[in-house]
Chains A and B, each alone.
Chain A
């Protein structure tokens, strides 16, 4: 496995039930190419949280996953409202999720913290009114 393997997904903004489909597919594909289970778990949970964020907060977006030897990079890009205060957004428990989303078990304000915890590096680039790009790297 020397050439990077790339996956691309469009994340639908208005379908809450299919949210997570990309992450579940990535999980399956990583398993097929023999990535260790613990690495798959970290990648797929981090990606799922990011995917859900794009659905809840940004009306959808794009997800790209690049698999290199010893390294998986996840890039989630949206054209949503952006994040004004990234440090605040990263605070455990901080959430602007609406009530209907909370009733589904989301909106605990633990998504970004989980993404940071499960990855070796996480970078958030966001411009208010333009969108957000989250880049996460998992080393193994």
Chain B
């Protein structure tokens, strides 16, 4: 499944789309950045409610396929700008992390 598929099927809000064709090969949920760096894998859909600018750096270093902000957590324009600059797929939804994962796994 690609990031484009995910956006369409889960009806996600697109904050930045850098590489819609990127294949999603797994997933990880977490807000503590060291845990994400220790456990998430390249190609994952990373679901989080963290929205500060460090999320973009972690997403880049871990090489996740996309970041999905759950629960429509508030995000500032500078973070979206950073995602654009670093080529990170940044998406958002009003759904909870639980529901997002449930829906993704059923695709």
Digit string of B52-79 for contact with A (CB within 8 Å is 1, else 0)?
1111011011110000000000000010
Dominant secondary structure at the B interface: helix
Question: Which chain A residue lies CB-closest to B34?
Answer: A110
Is the Cβ of B63 less than 8 Å from the Cβ of A49?
A: no
Contacts of B53 in A (CB 8 A): 17
Which 8 pairs, one residue from A and one from B, show the smallest C-beta to C-beta distance?
A: A110-B34, A20-B57, A108-B32, A105-B33, A108-B34, A44-B61, A105-B50, A17-B53
Give, as a whole number of angstroms, the nearest-CB distance from B70 to chain A: 14
Residues of B within 8 A of A (CB): 31-35, 37-38, 42, 50, 52-55, 57-58, 60-63, 78, 86
The contact of A48 among B37, B52, B55, by CB within 8 Å, is B37
Is the Cβ of B33 less than 8 Å from the Cβ of A106?
A: yes
Is the Cβ of B42 less than 8 Å from the Cβ of A37?
A: yes
Is the Cβ of A37 less than 8 Å from the Cβ of B63?
A: yes
Contacts of B52 in A (CB 8 A): 17, 104-105
Is the Cβ of A105 less than 8 Å from the Cβ of B31?
A: yes
Contacts of A105 in B (CB 8 A): 31-33, 50, 52, 54-55
Is the Cβ of B61 less than 8 Å from the Cβ of A23?
A: yes
Question: Which chain B residue lies CB-closest to A18?
Answer: B53
Taking CB atoms and an 8 Å cut-off, the chain A residues in 78-130 that contact chain B are 104-106, 108-111, 113-114, 117
